[in-house]
Amino acid sequence: MSAMFKLVGKPAPRHDAWAKAKGDQLYSDDFTMPGMLYGKALRSKYPAAIIKSIDTSKAKALPGVHAVLTAKDVPMNVEISKFGQMKDVGGGFEGLYKVLADGKVRFKGEAIALVAAETEELAEEACRLIEVDYEVQPGVFDPEEALKPGAYIVSSDEGENESNLIMESHINKGDVEKAFAEADVIVENEYRVPPVDHAYLETEGGVAWVDDNGVITMRVGTQVLEHYRTIAKVMGLPQNKVRNMSVPMGGGFGGKEDITVETFLCLLANATKRPVKMVWSREESLEVHSKRHPEILRYKTAATKDGKITAQKVEIIMDGGGYKLLTGWVQMYSTVNAPGCYNIPNVKVDSYSALTNNTPSSANRGFGCCQANFASELQMDELAAKLGMSPLEIRLKNCLRNGDEICTGFIPQGHIALEEIAKKAWEGLEATGPKPDYVDGKKIGRGLAIGMMSYGRLTFMHDSSRVGLRIELDGSVTLRAGVPDLGGGQASVLCQIVAEELGIPMEKVHPYIMDTHLTPLCGTTTATRQLYMSGNAALVTVKVLKERIIKKAAEMLDAKPEEVQLINEKACLINNPLKSVPFVQVVGALSNDGVELFHEGQFNAPFTDVPNLHDMKGRIWPDFTYSAHAVEVAVDEETGKFEVRKVVLCYDVGKAINKNSCEGQLEGGCVYNQGYVTENMGWENGITKARSFAEYLIPTAVDAPEIETIMVESGGGLGPYGAKGVGEPADNSIAPAIVNAIYDAVGVRLKEMPVTPEKLLKAIQEKNK
Amino acid sequence: MEISLHVNGKTYRLNVDPRKRLIDVLRDDLNLTGTKEGCGEGECGACTVILDGQAVNSCLVLACQARDKEILTVEGLARNGELDSLQKSFIEHGAVQCGFCTPGMLMSAKALLIKNPHPTEQEIKEAVAGNLCRCTGYNKIIAAIKKVAEDS
Ligand code: FES
Ligand code: FES
């Protein structure tokens, strides 16, 4: 079958690679407009405080200042947001979205007022002139403290002001207590994982203006075009009066999944009737946009002496920070993934999330899954060590296989390749040579971790995507799709699919993307869903046109439609390729006949009901992507510093539609979450200490390991041509593999990230005492 | 103040505020928006340009400090419509994802190859260590630069 593909499976350069390599690609900050003003937000000095009053008179009096807005100027300052989704799901899955702080300030850096002025400097000065009278509050910064009776209440808003609990969710399968009573071994541990910044190179920003039809229009890079609906609501406008002509992002990773500058810009543009630009500084970005959820995870695992896990009991406490945002959704991922990618008869998971006065937590590549994966994969290694088994053995003994059910009782439809990929990754590392004891005086260790993560949204969100195609009379194709492109090649792969099906070169398909007024909405670039959802939508759409073309070509070739194929810009007979008619001629003939040369098609994911959160059962996602990372580290026992020397990663990608893109995601995800082990926001009582890239250290070219990428293509995914999504699963099992390798090197297992040299050194010294 | 800037082989006479950074003059006054700002503090390398053969962070240089020097930005890499071999190699290797780090990364690589046409892998890594990339994991970027060094 694969031999028949012309384009699918090839490492095709993306349509936008040239513009990006030439510096021609325009991003949110690259637009300037005549008469443009600069917007700034005044941000809270304290993580917890009551705003007694705000005096903007001095700021308003400053010449060159055109607008100063506070909460009372926002038509609907508080809205219960669906965060871009289409279905009403209610409960913890819809969250309070507040544009500007009023009542209680809930985290440090929360926006209190907005300014638009002639220059950036003037806007900053105006912010300094706004007088806010705060009554500082004690606040609460630990999610466990926040859940205790009598804790400081973070919110002053209705519906949230009785307790800090955001949501609880539970899984009960079998009888864990009985299994613990009968167990040969029990491993019990507490893990703590930190907040993570997305650290995209492009901070949040954009421009907005009111167009000549009164439509509030913006150019803002976002992962969720559908936010225009929330923005319209907040502004008191109909949804068709707000438009985002979005632009490619300089990275997203979940950090541009919630609203960033959009509402601020639209409010300022509307108030001043002038174009307004706002771009957040790096410091602002590090301090105020949402982070990956910090979590406390308590595990108790039971096993037989030959290594079969009989029970897994997990308690999870999530820090949601000052606003709920996507916490409820993230919690689904942490909860269901808590037991790990294993077949375990008895499972109990109890998870709780809390509001605190920390920076809000929300989406970050891995979305609650990598927290649970970190803990469960360390737990596995400790169990293996206790039983005298190898890390590979214990995983092979317990990992999910085709036909097994996950902890909710659901049996995944897609292929489960855990056994194969775990072996391939580990054997791949072993094939690099026997493990040396020391290299350059540093102790060498090797570690393994495996994982699973969904692609596609929670099925109770009733997800859908649409793609539009128009065949031009010269045989080129215009593809219209509201697919936010954050750098993963989300739009390019759609062109590749369409070109493949129509038998034309990829350059002949031009994508027009991300415009809420003009492109069919594809849904969010989140949840590793675009290839799966919009890839299938592209396929559904192109097949309709393909059928029309083939039918006409068959007529022209005097053959039956099933005898005709589209290849090399021709329609030809499958059995006699010499008998052909150019693609463009068929298109011309259809046009002459008055047949529609355009189509917009929709793909729907499987739909389920919202699960009972007290006893979650059934299908929660469409399917999963499975990962394995084998890692070699070198640890300096004198300083506690370590380096990641080599990684062999293996994934079942189903089908690598664009080999380069697919590999690029896997390698990028690997280094992204290599950073999970060491990156340090330095949170202290609601204050972010890491306020620049000099303090928030992400991996550099020197830190990145040599990566060997092994892609298994089982064809067993639910995406086009059997593909699975890889964007988020790409960062799933690397962090625990690194920490397990450190254990292999020096015999200490740190259960709390970040793993700093100080912590590691202390642990090594304690062990050697 | 009045200054002359030589950018990508062209000379511009400009009247600039002496406090204005080179990155702002390039982006705002000359509309060369290929040079990106990722931090404004010399920590990310997205704003890298080549100043008299040296890779510098244009967010840390004042425009007036660059007067009468040769400035090369990403827009000046292609010659007569033909892409520089580094640009081609980045495209072929899939070293460009979101592309926001790409201009700076290309300029650091270019400066390295001007000085040292046959660098070792370690030298390549060190030359771009000041250019952060959050998307690619660097492997494809290093491979792209290495290929150009090998082929030259
Ligand atoms: S913008 Fe100049 S180094 Fe980051
Ligand atoms: S390609 Fe996105 S930061 Fe490098």
Specify the pTM.
Answer: 0.97
Give the residue, out of B25, B36, B37, B128, with the most ligand 1 atoms within 8 A of its beta carbon, to mutate for a pocket test: B37
The secondary element (H helix, E strand) that includes residue A649 is strand A642-652
* Edge-to-edge strand list for the sheet holding A346-355: A165-173, A346-355, A309-321, A295-303, A185-193
Shared-domain flag, residues B68 and B91: no
Shared-domain flag, residues B70 and B96: no
pLDDT above 70 covers a percentage of chain B that reads 100
* Main-chain dihedrals φ then ψ at residue B50, nearest 5 degrees: -105, 125
In our burial notation (b when 16+ CB lie closer than 10 A, e otherwise), range A367-390 reads: bbbbbbbbbbbbbbbbbbbbbebe
| Tokens 């082990």, residue located | A677
- Answer whether A254 touches B (CB < 8 Å): no
- Answer whether A5 touches B (CB < 8 Å): no
Q: What is the DSSP letter of A679?
A: -
Query: What tokens were used for B19?
Result: 């406090």
Shared-domain flag, residues B49 and B18: yes
A507 burial type by CB count under 10 A (0-12 exposed, 13-18 middle, 19+ buried): exposed
Give A266-310 pLDDT, tens digit per residue: 999 999 999 999 999 999 999 999 999 999 999 999 999 999 999
Helix intervals (H) in A346-488: 369-387, 391-398, 418-430
Superfamily of segment(s) A31-137+204-279: Aldehyde oxidase/xanthine dehydrogenase, a/b hammerhead (3.90.1170.50)
Give the integer Cα–Cα distance in Å for A71 and A113. Answer: 7
pLDDT above 70 covers a percentage of chain A that reads 99
Residue A85, pLDDT score: 65
Give the integer Cα–Cα distance in Å for A84 and A244. Answer: 13
A682: three-class secondary structure by DSSP: coil
Domain of B47: which CATH number? 3.10.20.30
A380: three-class secondary structure by DSSP: helix
Query: What tokens were used for A297?
Result: 């995870």
CATH topology identical between A2-25+464-604 and A295-458+610-768: yes
Domain of B111: which CATH number? 1.10.150.120
Shared-domain flag, residues B56 and B25: yes
Please state the domain count of chain B.
2
Shared-domain flag, residues B16 and B70: yes
Q: List strand residue ranges (DSSP E) for A234-376, in order.
A: 242-244, 276-279, 295-303, 309-321, 346-355
Give A12-60 pLDDT, tens digit per residue: 888 899 999 999 999 999 999 999 999 999 999 999 999 999 999 999 9
Give the residue, out of A20, A201, A492, A698, with the most ligand 2 atoms within 8 A of its beta carbon, to mutate for a pocket test: A201
- Which amino acid, one-letter code, is at A125? E
Cβ–Cβ < 8 Å for A451, A341: yes
The C-alpha torsion from B55 through B57 and B61 to B67, rounded to 10°, is 40
Give A421-464 pLDDT, tens digit per residue: 999 999 999 999 999 999 999 999 999 999 999 999 999 999 99
Considering only A78-92, A263-277, A458-472, A524-538, which range has the smallest mean pLDDT? A78-92
Shared-domain flag, residues B64 and B24: yes
Residue A706, pLDDT score: 96
Query: What tokens were used for A2?
Result: 């694969």
Give the domain-ending residue among B22, B55, B76.
B76
A675: three-class secondary structure by DSSP: helix
| Tokens 């995800």, residue located | A669
Contact A487 B129 (CB under 8 A): no
Give A131-175 pLDDT, tens digit per residue: 999 999 999 999 999 999 999 999 998 888 899 999 999 999 999
User: β-pairing, A509-513 with A477-481?
Assistant: parallel
Rounded to a whole number, what is the distance in Å from the CA of B66 to chain A's nearest CA?
21
Given a cut of 60, whether residue A3 has pLDDT beyond it is: no
Residue of B86, B96, B124, B145 best to disrupt the A interface, most CBs of A under 10 A: B96
- Name the residue among A16, A249, A671 with its Cβ closest to that of B138: A671
Give the integer Cα–Cα distance in Å for A465 and A456. Answer: 11
Query: What tokens were used for A591?
Result: 């046009």
What fold characterizes domain A295-458+610-768? Aldehyde Oxidoreductase; domain 4 (3.30.365)
Give A544-572 pLDDT, tens digit per residue: 999 999 999 999 999 999 999 999 999 99
Residue A91, pLDDT score: 65
Inter-helix orientation angle B85-93/B139-151, to 10°: 140
Report the DSSP beta bridge partners of residue B79: B82
Give the domain-ending residue among B23, B51, B76.
B76
Give the integer Cα–Cα distance in Å for A32 and A758. Answer: 47
Q: How far is the CA of A201 from the centre of ligand 1 (A)?
A: 9
Shared-domain flag, residues B50 and B93: no
Ligand 2 site residues (CB inside 6 A) read A 201, 251, 487; B 97-101, 133-136
Shared-domain flag, residues B28 and B46: yes
Give the integer Cα–Cα distance in Å for B152 and A618. Answer: 58
DSSP per position, A36-85? -EEEEEEE-SSSSEEEEEEE-HHHHHSTTEEEEEEGGGSTT-EEEE-TT-
Which residues of chain B lie closer than 8 angstroms to A287, CB-CB? none
What fold characterizes domain A2-25+464-604? Aldehyde Oxidoreductase; domain 4 (3.30.365)
Which residues of chain A lie closer than 8 angstroms to B134, CB-CB? 198-201, 251, 253, 668, 672, 698
Shared-domain flag, residues B69 and B90: no
Give the domain-ending residue among B55, B76, B97.
B76
Rounded to a whole number, what is the distance in Å from the CA of A702 to chain B's nearest CA?
5
DSSP per position, A178-217? HHHHH-SEEEEEEEEE-------SS-SEEEEEE-TTS-EE
Cα A738 vs. chain centroid, distance in angstroms? Answer: 22
Shared-domain flag, residues B16 and B67: yes
Which residues of chain A lie closer than 8 angstroms to B59, CB-CB? none
- Answer whether B40 touches A (CB < 8 Å): yes
Q: State which residues form the domain around B102.
A: 85-151
Residue of A15, A22, A659 best to disrupt the B interface, most CBs of B under 10 A: A22
Q: Where are the domains of chain A?
A: 2-25+464-604, 31-137+204-279, 295-458+610-768
Is the ipTM of this structure higher than 0.90?
yes
Higher pLDDT, A7 or A293: A293
Give the integer Cα–Cα distance in Å for A215 and A232. Answer: 10
Shared-domain flag, residues B66 and B12: yes
Shared-domain flag, residues B61 and B93: no
